[in-house]
A and B are shown apart, each in its own frame.
Chain A
Amino acid sequence: MTELYYDAAPNATRVVPPLHGPRQYPTNKPAQVYLFGTCVVDLFFPEAGMDAIHLLEREGIAVNYPQGQSCCGQPAYTSGYTEQARQVAKAQLALFEQDWPVVVPSGSCAGMFREHYPALFEADPALLRQAQALAARTYELAEFLLHVCKVELSDTGAPVKVALHTSCSARREMNTHLHGRALLAQLGNVERVDHSHESECCGFGGTFSVRLPDIAGAMVQDKTRQLIETGAHQVISADCGCLLNINGALEKQQAALRGQHLASFLWQRTGGAR
């Protein structure tokens, strides 16, 4: 499944398996999907979650939002609290009973489902099967719109210049930068500008940004400066962790620039009402 974790005896020498080829997407749009909103969207960017729902519904898809959902478990997992992460992951695993795709409006959380859940449940065959099945039908929102819905967006907005920031884990685990770029490219009046060191981390890294605020701060200062230098009117990102970081820093610097979630931007540009 993933090149980071694979089935091996505890003391066996590990080999990284060959790259997984390009992802195979379903040929038909599904009738129903689950939306996993993520905890950051839930509390800080709920409009991004709602706009994701709107975008999916406009595609003729019924969206199911399990009210039992909370967090994917990533903060504990990356902090080394694996047991605690597993406990939370197990609760999420139980939410998606039907075989519908699970759409996540945040790259790193989708990556947690896809790349790390199977490893968390390695020791429990029943849960492992469930985790593998969930991983196989989890999509990051932009990826889902582009490759499963095959959306054709028509831009109704005024000309605007935007910069795209992609979360590192999402980009590396799921190629989300390509999906975001492809969607923005469909918008005729939107000019996407590259920024210097675009592929470099914004410095969020979950608890990293509070554990080592000096280093994380230097990273986000460079990132925001590079974004401002593009002259973009807006920053777009499909990851709310990064947005929390970038927007928080821009606000502290009293800069005019702000970041917006890709879902909200797409919805607004294509005639969606707020």
Chain B
Amino acid sequence: MNTQARIPAVELPSDFRSRAHQALGDAQLRGNFRKAMDSLMAKRASAFADADEREQLRALGNAIRARALSKLPQLLEQLETNLTRQGVQVHWAETVEQANAIVLNIAQAHQAKRVVKGKSMVSEEMEMNDFLAARGLECLEADMGEFIVQLDHEKPSHIIVPAIHKNARQVAALFQQRLAVEYTEDVDQLIQIGRRVLRQKFFEADIGVSGVNFAVAETGTLLLVENEGNGRMVTSVPKVHIAVTGIEKVVENLRDVVPLLSLLTRSALGIPITTYVNMISSPRKPHEQDGPEEVHLVLLDNGRSQAFADGELRQTLNCIRCGACMNHCPVYTRVGGHTYGEVYPGPIGKIITPHLVGLAKVPDHPSASSLCGACGEVCPVKIPIPALLRRLREENVKAPDTPHPVMRGQGSKYSRKERLLWNAWARLNSSPALYRAFLRLATRLRGLTPGNVGPWSQNHSAPKPAPRSLHERAREHFATRGNRP
């Protein structure tokens, strides 16, 4: 299966800029994203018809997440205590390697061969499919979108709608080739094909893996939202359920879930609630007829504690993974999720990924934004994404040896030359005499403005300074008549 080409065959270049360039030239891809993002934006807008209610709810969502983070260690311990008492086994992992080892240990203890997985972004961070496959375990994605993406050896391009970059024709060709079914572009039929294949997998699986949307400390409850039922299947049919989640996903109590759930589903898909809200608090009890006999929770750090260490960057961890920031992002809409080259694309990806993989691995991420603010405007938990992007730019251009680094890979965009240029710029703009001399020079020499001014000329004609600056014209204006109105 691994030797087969993608449909259509697309090789992604190795750096952000080249991937962006390629995506921008792919009319079909851009059309797919534009259409999907427009529709998701419209759905969200209609789900928040009352702007006052929306803004108050966002403020509450922000306060709930901030409160949870302000006592995160206590809440994690409370969650662990409650879950343990209820029979759920809690594991901790600082790295994805540790998390994968935990999963593998559990699988081996049960001589498991087949793993079926509900949608989980943390398992994507772990690259669990590849890790388990390399050790002889089949790990199959059960969410329809994830299933499609896995069939084509791709990664998700959106955290909520993973296969949004593909249209029905592409899925039809993929199913025909990989599943040996008759070609159909009918979405209902395509979904029924997926249902048939995956039902058998749920039936056979030894282990079910899922993510977690909210982990409730008060009651020791793992809450999962989904529309398809795959999340319920993987958490109820196999004998063992392993939930993997980030350490930030904990909330203090059940009532905190009420506004967060509403914000999540309305922001993500514009729906009042998902088809299923699945709350799990223990493994199968004696005398119960179904449900897993073992439930495990893996709490993964993977760089989150680095973001946590800084009061400003900590807000990154407010995220409830709704995807609204990418739906509204003019950059994401144009380049698509794969351009980012990491698990989390779009605005949230740009602020979380540097903590997960180090700034040096994603040096262009903080810069790839016009700071237009659309993401911050729609974020249901009010993460000030543009402000955090700006902050990451600051960390990114610091000298790499600056003491007390707040993050791994700090200074990955440091350039002595660029710093000197900005120093000169600052000097020019903080010295009125120098600045006016510059204006004089620029306006007098406007005829010499080059026709090609580097990257700007790719899309624009070269800007030409005016013959006389506002400084000059204002001075003249006020000199002749004073500043009387």
What's the Cα separation between A49 and B69 when bound, in Å?
48
The verdict on A123 contacting chain B, using a C-beta distance below 8 Å, is no
A25 to chain B: which residues have CB within 8 Å? none
Contact of A44 among B331, B466, B477 (CB under 8 A): B466
Inter-subunit contact B371/A14 (CB<8 Å): no
Q: In the bound complex, do residue B430 and residue A91 qualify as a contact, i.e. CB atoms below 8 Å apart? A: yes
Question: Restricting to A218-238, which residues have a CB under 8 Å from any CB of B?
Answer: 218-222
Complex: chain A residue closest to B419, CB-CB: A81
In contact, A169 and B474 (Cβ under 8 angstroms): no
Question: By the criterion CB–CB under 8 Å, are B334 and A218 in contact?
Answer: yes
Contacts of B62 in A (CB 8 A): 15-16
**Interchain CB contact under 8 A, B70 and A87:** no
**Chain A: minimal CB distance from B459 (Å):** 4
Beyond A44-B466, A214-B20, A244-B463, is A11–B430 a contact (Cβ under 8 Å)?
A: no
Is A46 a contact of B466 with CB atoms below 8 Å?
yes
Interface string of A206-222 (1 = CB under 8 A from B): 11111111111111111
Q: Smallest Cβ distance from B252 to chain A, in angstroms?
A: 13
Q: Are B485 and A79 in contact (CB under 8 A)?
A: no
Query: Given A57-B485, A252-B459 in contact, is the A67-B371 Cβ separation under 8 Å?
Result: no
B463:A84 contact, CB within 8 angstroms: no
Q: Which residues of A contact B368 (CB under 8 A)?
A: 208, 212, 215
Say if the beta carbon of B90 comes within 8 Å of chain A: no
Chain B 361-407 interface residues, beta-carbon cutoff 8 Å to A: 364, 366-374, 376-377, 382, 384, 386-387, 390, 392-397
A79: nearest residue on chain B (CB-CB)?
B393
Selected contact of B463 from candidates A42, A205, A248, CB within 8 Å: A248
Cα of A169 to Cα of B109 in the assembled complex, Å: 55
- Set of chain A residues within 8 Å of B334, measured between Cβ atoms: 215, 218-219, 222
Query: Which residue on B lies nearest to A244, using beta carbons?
Result: B463
Q: Given contacts A46-B468, A82-B394, is CB(A210)–CB(B455) below 8 Å? A: yes
Q: Whose C-beta in chain A lies nearest to the C-beta of B364?
A: A212
Measured between alpha carbons, how far is A210 from B432 in the docked complex, in Å? 27
* Also in contact, A18 and B330, with CB within 8 A (given A46-B469, A81-B419): no
**With an 8 A cutoff between CB atoms, is A245 at the interface?**
yes
Q: B465, A44: Cβ atoms under 8 Å?
A: yes
Distance in angstroms from B37 CB to nearest chain A CB is 10
Minimum CB–CB distance for A97 against chain B, Å? 15
Does B203 lie at the interface of the complex (its beta carbon under 8 Å from any beta carbon of A)? no
Residues on the B chain within 8 Å of A59, using CB:
485
If A80-B397, A168-B372, A215-B334 touch, whether A251 touches B461 (CB-CB below 8 Å) is yes
Q: How far is it, in angstroms, between the C-alpha of A169 and the C-alpha of B389 when the chains are bound?
A: 14
Contact B369 A208 (CB under 8 A): yes
B426 at interface by CB-CB < 8 Å: yes
Smallest distance from the beta carbon of B121 to chain A beta carbons, Å? 23
Q: For the complex formed, measure the closest distance between the CB of B423 and the CB atoms of chain A, giving whole angstroms.
A: 6
Looking at the complex, which one of A41, A91, A168, A208 makes contact with B367 (CB distance below 8 Å)?
A208
Return the CB mask of B333-376 against A: 1 if under 8 Å, else 0.
Answer: 01100000000000000000000000000001011111111101
Partner of B471, one of A57, A60, A67, A200: A67
Known: A205-B369, A205-B370. A39 touches B429 (CB 8 A): yes
> Which stretch of B163-171, B236-244, B256-264, B309-317 is in the interface?
B309-317
Tier of interface size on chain A: 35 or more
The docked-state distance in angstroms from the alpha carbon of A43 to that of B62 is 42
Asked if A13 CB lies within 8 Å of chain B CBs, one says yes
Q: B196 at the A/B interface (Cβ < 8 Å)?
A: no
Chain A residues with CB below 8 A from B66, complex form: 13-16
How near does chain B come to A9, taking the closest CB pair, in angstroms?
A: 7
Task: Give the interface centre of A79, A173, A204 by most chain B CB atoms within 10 Å.
Answer: A79
**B contact patch SS:** helix
Nearest chain A CB to B308's CB is how many angstroms away? 9
Chain B residues with CB below 8 A from A91, complex form: 429-432
Contact with B along A1-28 (1 / 0, CB 8 A): 0011100111111111011000000000
B460 x A245 contact (CB < 8 A): yes
Q: Which of A70-78, A138-146, A177-185 contacts B (4 or more CB under 8 A)?
A: A70-78
Q: Which of B73-81, B92-100, B177-185, B436-444 contacts A (4 or more CB under 8 A)?
A: B436-444
Residues from chain B with a CB closer than 8 A to the CB of A53 are: 474, 477
Q: Is the CB of A50 within 8 A of B17?
A: no
Contact present for B436 and A67 (CB under 8 Å): yes
Residues 425-459 (chain B) with a chain A CB within 8 angstroms? 425-432, 435-436, 439, 442-443, 454-456, 458-459
Chain A residues with CB under 8 Å of B484's CB are 62
With a cutoff of 8 Å between Cβ atoms, the chain B residues found around residue A63 in the complex are 478, 483, 485
A68 interface residue (CB < 8 Å to B)? yes
The 6 closest A-B pairs by CB, nearest first: A205-B370, A248-B460, A80-B393, A201-B372, A217-B459, A168-B372
Using A63-B485, A85-B426, A214-B17 as known contacts, list a sample of 13 further A-B pairs with CB atoms less than 8 Å apart, ordered by residue number in A: A12-B311, A13-B70, A19-B59, A43-B442, A43-B465, A60-B485, A65-B474, A84-B423, A87-B430, A91-B430, A206-B371, A219-B330, A220-B460
Q: Which A residues form the contact surface with B (CB < 8 A)?
A: 3-5, 8-16, 18-19, 32, 35, 37, 39, 41-47, 49-50, 53, 56-65, 67-71, 73, 75-85, 87-88, 90-91, 168-169, 172-173, 199-201, 203-222, 244-245, 248-249, 251-252
Q: Can you give 30 contacting A-B residue pairs, CB < 8 Å?
A: A4-B387, A5-B387, A9-B311, A12-B70, A13-B314, A41-B470, A43-B439, A46-B472, A49-B473, A50-B477, A57-B485, A59-B485, A63-B485, A65-B470, A70-B428, A76-B422, A76-B426, A78-B371, A81-B426, A84-B426, A87-B427, A91-B431, A201-B330, A208-B371, A214-B17, A214-B24, A216-B459, A248-B461, A248-B462, A251-B460
